[in-house]
Structure 1
């Protein structure tokens, strides 16, 4: 974070400062956090009233931990910590981030903000671009998918006087949200990856999704650069909104930065020919799995090339960067319940485009040094915010899995949410309508856990894809498997947990 005192922070957010003396007002803020457990010496704690937890309940605690101040929407009596009182702490957090970026821009040394949006691929592209730019200069980028009105400002507040690049991921569920984020942190380079149907239920139409994603391009000034997907018919028209330069990436004729001759190995990792403007084509062997990540790598490479990263460094980084944010095509081998199987954990979230990409990756996996064809199992959860055709979209995913040749589909519904359960059933219906893979509906992740083990015991060389929305609970199953926690207890017909002998507990 740029150097800022408590008093200066209060001025930046238009807050009322409650301090004991000038010493408290003059304290330097070293970091900004929303988690009270991270609010140590010199931190500014932002108290946010959430659905389940209210950060204001922890203001006294952060004072005891040595926090420089707390940002609150009402004064907390008897809390021995300077307090900046505002009407809305989330809005104030954004204003503080805006002030921090303005200070960095005024520091007199080069500084560039790259904003990334799209219906799919934002986080992986962000991870790859961070790796590319970090090879050249100090770079700040969000942890995981910190891309909303809390996560994006928190990331921007990590920028200090040494930061050369800020990679800012910008997501949205509604029109105007990306415009708001860019009003706080204006991008110098704006990347649009794809316009898909994620959050279609919230936006109402693909046209509205296109309009929302275009807000990042509209934020560019005359010197700004738009990096656009030349292969996406909904992205191409955004070039008309750009006063400055447009860089095109893709696999088709309209692209300046191109990926071609894509080949996949048995570990579902792509090798492709990368062509950058003015450079001889070179082969790149990605270290991360997934054919869909060729386009994400190409977008990151296009930005890096524009910002002066040498072609040989781009190739080297892309071939070495095997670690990206959790629950995104992460491959591991698991021994569990007497079975051994490969896990492809892509459970972070799901929409129809990313579901199909995950299933493509499952089919592309053949492994190394196996004695036979893998038995491919797709554990799929429901997708949310898809609008009126959500049932049809879920059936379509089931059909897609069956036609690809997936051997088994386990659709995970919910014991507590009838809609989630119904959508999971639609996946099974789609599978059965298009082929004859093993198709099974379960109602919780415990049953999914046991079902996978049963299939893996019966079929050596099983490979299992985990893919679903947050609400499906599959990321929790992935974490359970990562820790290799104990197997869930069996349940009898009455729904009670039982011992190995079937006795009720």
Structure 2
């Protein structure tokens, strides 16, 4: 069975599940069986249901007339399309219908009675990397479905859940939130058997207003567990640890030794990094067993993500040695997350650490720490360049937080800092300026530059790399900063 397939359903079953009205047009509605679902018409295969969603730039309803020719057996729409070549299921809201279809698919899978486990993951940072590590581990024990990239919202999670079929043993569900109530909605569609909470940071502080409100939003994954479900909690984060008070079943703790004699059940001891920032540690479980782990991905902050994934895998039956081996085998994760490559330009070459997927103060510091550890033990130290974009949704303290990151970079020892603003967005540009100001206050400002687009950043990095052969460049910023576009430009050069 293809990894794209869901539980087979008739069109009548789908219409009932999404509370819609089936407009058959022909008698064909009595015979088709749907085996997959998509919101992107380019992904349609034989047997697909197409869910037409009206987005900011594209309205899926415009594609309904042609999806039958591509193999679709039905379209879910919020109004009838006159010239459609497939039966239509008319609903009030197609996004809600997508969620209801995913909910029904999971209920159908559970009804089979064969082993099936949903693992939900949330946290301010680390969700996608933990998801990637979790999928790698659980795949050793059975067919595992997990989202591509960070498909973790009201559209992404249902689309992932609609890849679950009779053969699926595990579903790893990443759950993100910009507002209180969003994770509660996701767990109402796909209730987890196991909920993992990584960290309550200041990401989206501007949306939530306080760390306590962020903690409230993240705790919805615990409230949304199936009866008696397992909570896997970060013992080193007080907001996360407090969630144990309302856990509906067992609590499993992971984290670093806390120094007061009480250690989490799953912990990492003797953490260190090699000169290419690959962390090594001794993994220890609650039974006192231990195994040596060297992660195949970069970044000391990923030790906590690895512990979270290891906790779930060991609870579900993997031995500690199997977990250690599998963690070491993971060398690639979702794009733009501490991905290392060599960029070969006509004038020069440099090492790129691409962590441009997103940014908040915690992940900015983690990325900078990784840059500073790069070949830290070598006799000849590389010239370290940090190219940092702005951080979004940080609330009234956003300027001070940007100043603090600039200061952190210079005080930590980066050789050059480029802060990337925007020529078209004055507020983004001002935040990049604040980051440069913080750096200038902290140290030698001769290699601190505030630029206003990625082209200017590209030229400056190229010049610095020419002047300093063997340079290493960290690329880090929120998605809106545009640095991922610069990463892709450089990655194209790395691939040549």
TM interval, short-chain normalised: over 0.9
How is 1:188-207 mapped onto 2 (pairs within 5 angstroms)? Answer: 188-207=193-212
Query: 2:66 is matched with which residue?
Result: 61
Asked whether the equivalents of residues 252 and 265 of structure 2 are also in contact (C-alpha less than 8 Å), the reply is yes
Query: 2:338 is matched with which residue?
Result: 329
Query: 1:293 is matched with which residue?
Result: 302
Asked whether the equivalents of residues 445 and 477 of structure 1 are also in contact (C-alpha less than 8 Å), the reply is yes
Q: CA deviation at 1:278?
A: 1.2
Q: How many residues in Structure 1 have an aligned counterpart in Structure 2?
A: 485
Q: Deviations over 1:23-64 (max 9, x none)?
A: 224311121111111123211111111111111111112122
Q: Deviations over 1:226-248 (max 9, x none)?
A: 00000001111100011210000
Q: TM-score, normalised by structure 2?
A: 0.96
Whether 2:102 is the aligned partner of 1:94: answer no
User: Could you tell me which of 73, 81, 86 is aligned with 1:76?
Assistant: 81
Q: TM-score, normalised by structure 1?
A: 0.94
Query: 2:3 is matched with which residue?
Result: none
Asked whether the equivalents of residues 7 and 26 of structure 1 are also in contact (C-alpha less than 8 Å), the reply is no
Q: Secondary structure of the residue that 1:49 maps to in structure 2?
A: coil
Query: 1:478 is matched with which residue?
Result: 487
Query: 1:503 is matched with which residue?
Result: none
User: Could you tell me which of 253, 264, 271 is aligned with 1:255?
Assistant: 264
User: Could you tell me which of 163, 166, 178 is aligned with 1:161?
Assistant: 166
Q: Deviations over 1:168-219 (max 9, x none)?
A: 0000000000000000000000000000000000001100000000000111
Query: 1:456 is matched with which residue?
Result: 465
Query: 1:490 is matched with which residue?
Result: none
Query: 1:401 is matched with which residue?
Result: 409
State how far apart, in whole Å, the 2-side matches of 1:254 and 1:170 are: 27
Q: CA deviation at 1:222?
A: 3.4
Which consecutive unaligned segments of at least 5 residues does structure 2 have? 1-5
Asked whether the equivalents of residues 398 and 430 of structure 1 are also in contact (C-alpha less than 8 Å), the reply is yes
Q: CA deviation at 1:71?
A: 0.9
State how far apart, in whole Å, the 1-side matches of 2:27 and 2:147 are: 34
Query: 1:499 is matched with which residue?
Result: none
State how far apart, in whole Å, the 2-side matches of 1:387 and 1:249 are: 30
Asked whether the equivalents of residues 337 and 453 of structure 1 are also in contact (C-alpha less than 8 Å), the reply is no
Q: Deviations over 1:313-334 (max 9, x none)?
A: 1011101100100000000011
Moved more, 385-394 or 64-73: 64-73
Which consecutive unaligned segments of at least 5 residues does structure 1 have? 487-505
Q: Deviations over 1:328-352 (max 9, x none)?
A: 0000011113111000000001111
Whether 2:37 is the aligned partner of 1:32: answer yes
Query: 1:376 is matched with which residue?
Result: 384
How is 1:23-422 mapped onto 2 (pairs within 5 angstroms)? Answer: 23-251=28-256, 252=258, 253-366=262-375, 372-422=380-430
State how far apart, in whole Å, the 2-side matches of 1:20 and 1:243 are: 48
Q: Secondary structure of the residue that 2:353 maps to in structure 1?
A: strand
Moved more, 432-441 or 109-118: 432-441
Query: 1:20 is matched with which residue?
Result: 25
Asked whether the equivalents of residues 190 and 225 of structure 1 are also in contact (C-alpha less than 8 Å), the reply is yes
State how far apart, in whole Å, the 1-side matches of 2:481 and 2:413 are: 24
State how far apart, in whole Å, the 1-side matches of 2:288 and 2:20 are: 53
Q: Secondary structure of the residue that 2:267 maps to in structure 1?
A: strand
State how far apart, in whole Å, the 2-side matches of 1:143 and 1:48 are: 19
Q: Deviations over 1:383-412 (max 9, x none)?
A: 111101111111110011011101111111
Q: CA deviation at 1:279?
A: 4.0
Q: Secondary structure of the residue that 2:33 maps to in structure 1?
A: coil
State how far apart, in whole Å, the 2-side matches of 1:21 and 1:279 are: 65
Asked whether the equivalents of residues 262 and 271 of structure 1 are also in contact (C-alpha less than 8 Å), the reply is yes
Q: Secondary structure of the residue that 1:284 maps to in structure 2?
A: strand
Q: Deviations over 1:439-484 (max 9, x none)?
A: 1011111111111100000011100001001111000111111112
Q: CA deviation at 1:485?
A: 9.4
Whether 2:452 is the aligned partner of 1:447: answer no
Asked whether the equivalents of residues 289 and 320 of structure 2 are also in contact (C-alpha less than 8 Å), the reply is no
Q: Secondary structure of the residue that 1:96 maps to in structure 2?
A: helix
State how far apart, in whole Å, the 2-side matches of 1:458 and 1:444 are: 22
Q: CA deviation at 1:3?
A: 1.3
Asked whether the equivalents of residues 275 and 281 of structure 1 are also in contact (C-alpha less than 8 Å), the reply is yes
Question: 1:39 and 1:221, CA in 2 relative to 1: closer, same or farther beyond 3 A?
Answer: closer
State how far apart, in whole Å, the 2-side matches of 1:329 and 1:151 are: 23
Asked whether the equivalents of residues 257 and 276 of structure 1 are also in contact (C-alpha less than 8 Å), the reply is yes
Moved more, 112-121 or 234-243: 234-243
Question: Structure 1: which 4+ aligned runs deviate by more than 6 Å?
Answer: none
Asked whether the equivalents of residues 343 and 494 of structure 2 are also in contact (C-alpha less than 8 Å), the reply is no
Q: Secondary structure of the residue that 1:272 maps to in structure 2?
A: strand
Q: Secondary structure of the residue that 2:131 maps to in structure 1?
A: helix
State how far apart, in whole Å, the 2-side matches of 1:481 and 1:45 are: 36
Asked whether the equivalents of residues 290 and 320 of structure 2 are also in contact (C-alpha less than 8 Å), the reply is no
State how far apart, in whole Å, the 1-side matches of 2:50 and 2:396 are: 41
